[in-house]
Amino acid sequence: MAGGSVEPVEPGPTLPCPDRDRRLRRARADEAAGVGLGAEPTPARPATFGAVCAVGEFRVLWLADVLSLLGDQLARVALAVLVFGRTGSALLTGLVYALSFLPALVGGPLLAGLADRLPRRRLMVSCDLARGLVVAVMAVPGAPLWLLCALLVGAVLLTAPFTAARAALLPDVLPDDRYVLASAINNITDQGAQVLGFAVGGGLAAVLGSSMTLGIDAATFVASALLLQLGLAHRPAPSDPKEGTGRPSALRSALAGSRLIGGDARLRALLGYAWLCGFSVVPEGLAAPYAAAEGAGAGTVGLLMAAQPTGAVLGAVLLARFVAPARRLRLMGPLAVLSCAPLLGCALRPGIPITLALLAVSGLGTAFQLAANAAFVQAVPAAVRGQVFGLAQAGIITVQGAAILLAGAVASRLAPALVVAGAGGLGTAAAARLIWSLSRAERAAAQRAGLAG
């Protein structure tokens, strides 16, 4: 990542210029704070939704993502209904549902590197067509349960390189501040598509049956592939001059991505910000026992699970649309603290209405992920962006799953409200540590840039 710089001042006597002096002081302050390191000069004003949606390739990526997400949710619901209908076992149903997430832990590190070794449009189209074929076979009536499980694992494994390619391609489509707003749009869309997919999937599975619902899922993948093929420009595979003409294996690519992150203190801190979600996700995992402990019913469970996403949507819109790019980076640390600190209030067991407010404020703070994601993109070389994104995504899934499992185990002995508060306390401490770590890394980078200059 190339270091930022300030335009040199012509030598010779000059008259005092207050405006120029203020600009220079601000530029030096921003460089010392790490603002704009490794990126083009940041614009003074944030992008607009209209500017993002005016880009045809973004509209194609967005619509293809919606189709894939809806298809994934339809498949999960249809499989759950199908497996439970055949076996009557809640355990087997839960295990099959878990299979729709677990392969990402392997696919992320090992297959995401394909997004750096192959043309990204071709990779996404190929993955979509392959997933459509796999799900179409799953839709065949009477398929054995073991075959359904094997096909499900294959379909989920193909999701990893697709997601990595899409994440790596988006900064090329929107290389400026529009990328941040596009990320906010994608986050909002992802949450909405998941909710809609679950709601529609249950109805379709009840009316059409599981096999027909899986057939619709297969059709969404084919439609997504056609959109991407026709709507995206061809771009060659990224190349890294350090690698020469040869292409490393999946394992070597994963190791290289790990070494890149491990050797860069700033990347490690930004990755830590991404993994803070392991603390803020705990209320979602404990929503049912939390509601039961408060004497509330099933309707309250839904409210508890929706409170944080609601705050997250509002926070993403406010941060991306109304906060200047340079200021987002300064707000990243305080917002990360805000994503966890309100959960401490649950220790007082304040009742459901106040708990909902605390969770909504926590969700508002999760908007820091937009700034962290943008800084991460700027810091990672384009030639290895897919691999590094895959590693980061696998880590997110791991910390979320481990946090929910651990919180559930602890909640079997302690009140759920205390477990949520404990997660908030640990997350607040972790966020404070990350603020210090990132600040230290950026000061060191600014010093190296000064010495090099």
Q: What one-character-per-residue DSSP string does 44-83 give?
A: SS---HHHHHT-HHHHHHHHHHHHHHHHHHHHHHHHHHHH
Measured from the Cβ of residue 216, the count of other Cβ atoms closer than 10 Å reads 19
Q: Where are the beta strands (DSSP E) in 296-435?
A: none
Q: Can you read off the two tokens belonging to residue 332?
A: 């990243």
Q: pLDDT tens digit string along 355-378?
A: 999 999 999 999 898 888 888 877
DSSP assignment letter at 45: S
Chain centroid, CA 47 distance in Å: 20
Question: What is the distance between the alpha carbons of residues 65 and 281, in angstroms, rounded to a whole number?
Answer: 23
Asked: is 44-236 a CATH 1.20.1250.20 domain? The reply is: yes
Domain ranges of the chain: 44-236, 263-453
Residue 40 confidence (pLDDT): 46
Question: What is the distance between the alpha carbons of residues 74 and 90, in angstroms, rounded to a whole number?
Answer: 19
Residue 224 confidence (pLDDT): 93
For tokens 């997933």, name the residue. 131
* Among the four given CATH numbers 1.20.1250.20, 3.30.70.890, 3.40.50.700, 2.40.170.20, the one describing domain 263-453: 1.20.1250.20
Grouping H, G, I as helix, E, B as strand and the rest as coil, residue 110 is helix
Neighbouring C-alpha atoms within 13 Å toward the C-beta of 242: 6
Q: Where are the beta strands (DSSP E) in 217-259?
A: none
Question: Same CATH topology for 44-236 and 263-453?
Answer: yes
Q: Can you read off the two tokens belonging to residue 118?
A: 């192959």
Query: What is the model's pTM?
Result: 0.69
Q: With a cut of 50, list the residues of the chain below it in pLDDT.
A: 1-41, 241, 243-245
Question: What is the distance between the alpha carbons of residues 93 and 82, in angstroms, rounded to a whole number?
Answer: 9
Question: What is the distance between the alpha carbons of residues 69 and 370, in angstroms, rounded to a whole number?
Answer: 20
